Amino acid sequence: MSTSSPIDWTLCLIADSDAIGSRNIPEVIEQAVAGGVTLVQLRAKTWSAREFVETGRVLSRLLKKRKIPLIINDRLDVALVCQAPGVHIGQEDIPLTDVRRIMGAEGIIGVSVSTEQEAREAEKNGASYVGAGPVFATLSKDTAIPALGTEGLLEIRRAVKIPVLAVGGINAQNAAAVMETGVAGIAVISALLGRSDVRQAAWELRQAIVQGPKIKS
């Protein structure tokens, strides 16, 4: 369940099954990785457990060869069966302390947060990283949580020492401003999956990230 290599948090693709649609999922993931994606989170709200496990196993093998962690969204059971190195949970999911106990000390556990308090709580309870957002308004996820903006994101980043992934409405045009807050990286759905050429989209976004402005302290 663990990964011994240092994690590159720069660019996380949230591989949402609805956003991928009828496209071949492993092929889409390979294109994204070729373009510069460094982390993959598999999210499938409508799949059966069997479908989730079967696809997770394929992606786990594919990404392990490339030394890129696969994070399973919401489903701890699927992550365990697929031997994925990580799982990402929300505020209403299984308590983080229980997930950490089951996954062990080396398992990668991400937690969705939208406030400084949630971020601090996640860090205290053993999260490996937090996904902070939404930074900007987004149609990729149905949420009533107001957008943080870069200032709200900066406050969360300053509140914890674990890596922060910014999520929500981020694209190649605003990625540099997001990275200026000092987050470890960004996580996206539509910025990549909304494009026909996923590899090119990933490359453009990666360039926007690495060429961003000076980080705020």
Active site amino acids: 43, 112, 141
191-200 per-residue burial string, b: 16 or more CB within 10 A, e: under 16:
bbbeeeebbe
Compute the distance between CA of residue 86 and CA of residue 165 in angstroms, rounded to an integer.
15
Q: Residue holding tokens 């786990």?
A: 60
**Phi-psi domain of 215 (left: phi exceeds 0; alpha: psi -120 through 50; beta: other):** beta
Say which amino acid occupies 153: L
Compute the distance between CA of residue 21 and CA of residue 192 in angstroms, rounded to an integer.
13
